[in-house]
Amino acid sequence: SLLGHADTAFLERTYCHPQDVAKRQAANLMQDLLNNQNPCYVAFMKNKNRKAKKAG
């Protein structure tokens, strides 16, 4: 009522639903990036396990 809306349905449609969609899209993107079939992820994991070279 402070925002001038008759019920919460407007707020849910306007604010909650888009956030749920954005969260789902972000989760799907992370799942794709961290997939062991992704060549970038495979290369990252190989390099992650290497010992760091000392500088100098």
Q: How many domains does the chain have?
A: 1
Instruction: For residue 33, give the 3-state DSSP assignment.
Output: helix
Type and span of the H or E element at 45 = helix 39-48
pLDDT of residue 28: 93
Say how far apart CA 17 and CA 12 lie, in whole Å: 6
pLDDT of residue 12: 76
Say how far apart CA 23 and CA 52 lie, in whole Å: 35
Say how far apart CA 48 and CA 40 lie, in whole Å: 12
49: left (phi over 0), alpha (psi -120 to 50) or beta: alpha
Domain span at residue 43?
4-54
Taking only the tens place, the pLDDT of each residue in 1-56 is: 566 667 778 777 777 777 888 889 999 999 988 888 888 888 888 888 777 677 76
